Amino acid sequence: MKNKSILYFLLLCVLFTACKEDKLAPVATNAVKPTAVTAPLPHDTDDPSIWIHPTDPSKSIIVGTDKDTDGGLYAFDLNGKILKKSIPLKRPNNVDIAYGLVIDGKKTDIAVTTERESNKIRIFSLPDLEPIDNGGIPVFEGEPLRDPMGIALYTRPSDKKIFAIVGRKSGPSGSYLWQYELSGTGKTATAKVVRKFGAYSGKKEIEAIAVDNELGTVLYCDEQFGIRKYKADPALNDNKELALFGKTGFKADNEGIAIYKKTDSTGYILVSNQQANTFMVYPREGAKGNPNKYPLLAEIPTSTIECDGADVTSLNLGGKYKNGLFVAMSNGMVFQYYSWDLIQARIDKE
């Protein structure tokens, strides 16, 4: 079945690259080949997130969005097989996962997605993908520009409180992102605004957002401009930009962000060079002596086409994923899985 999925994906690659109308960059001849490819979704994949099973990592799942008016969240196993679909959602864009939100006195793992056409975020319990948000939580209320797109979840190490950082299709510089504290009232997840921040160049949009819990930072892609870094904890009352990097080397859009953690403070930041079908790799800890400077370490060609979203884990998931798993969206309505060893080997070559 896995070989059939990969064959199906490669056939789609041929169709996409042969289509003159799309004018998409071809997959490089030296591109890293995926370890597995998911079953295709009905409409348009956009963003994945990895949920780690608490007792058996080999049973971990990938939650991905199917971006359409009649879309939803899908759960896949580590072979790319669809396990479950959520209730229908109105154009879910991005998704992120957090562990241990207290609902009805119990710790619940959650997947949170933006539902763009309803101007809400939607919260689901994991691994069953059941809604626990009473129909959704409105975001950017009172704003003329709403249309939520990007999302990342921050779990504060000191008290394990969970926050959702939400982006939108367009918004004002200085308050493009809104941060919500998540909690539970009875059996329902709730949210309240605790912060508004984030510079914006005005060039395109901000969709890709990633949070580093251990380092307490949030990174986001100001598309066609650069990658911005801020502190993640709203209690610090610090909205000063810490870094702006990745301003060169991208063909057009800097998109999905994933953070690979080697230790609590070291690893890699991977950013999709969307129109080039590559990923730019930066040091998670920054340059030696300057944690807010990010030299480019490598550019990795992958088999993805026009990748929007990505996620990665360094945990041992067993089998081919003993050193971790990198997941990336691709045109063709699929997500691609890569053994981290394949990505690390390319980084080491640079």
Domains with residue ranges and CATH for the chain:
2-349 (2.120.10.30)
Rounded CA separation 180/178 (Å): 7
The predicted model gives 147-162 an average pLDDT of 98
* pLDDT above 90: residue 17: no
The pTM of the full predicted model, rounded to 2 decimals, is: 0.93
Q: What share of the chain is helix, strand, coil (3-state, %, to 5)?
A: 10, 45, 40
CB 314 within 8 A of CB 324: yes
The strand ranges marked E within 92-203 are: 92-103, 106-115, 120-126, 130-131, 137-138, 148-155, 162-168, 177-185, 188-197
Length of the chain: 350
Q: How many CA atoms lie within 13 A of 329 on its CB side?
A: 32
For 175-197, how does the pLDDT look when each residue is reduced to its tens digit (9 = 90+)? 999 999 999 988 999 999 999 99
Question: pLDDT tens across 321-332, in order?
Answer: 999 999 999 999
Question: What's the mean pLDDT when you consider all of the chain?
Answer: 94
Q: By the 8 A CB rule, do 101 and 155 touch?
A: no
The backbone region for 218, taken as left when phi is positive above 0, alpha when psi lies in -120 to 50, beta otherwise, is: beta
CA distances from 218 to 185, 191, 208, 283 (A): 27, 19, 11, 15
In the prediction, which pLDDT does 4 show?
Answer: 55
Token pair for 185: 């009232």
Evaluate if residue 11 carries a pLDDT over 90. Answer: no
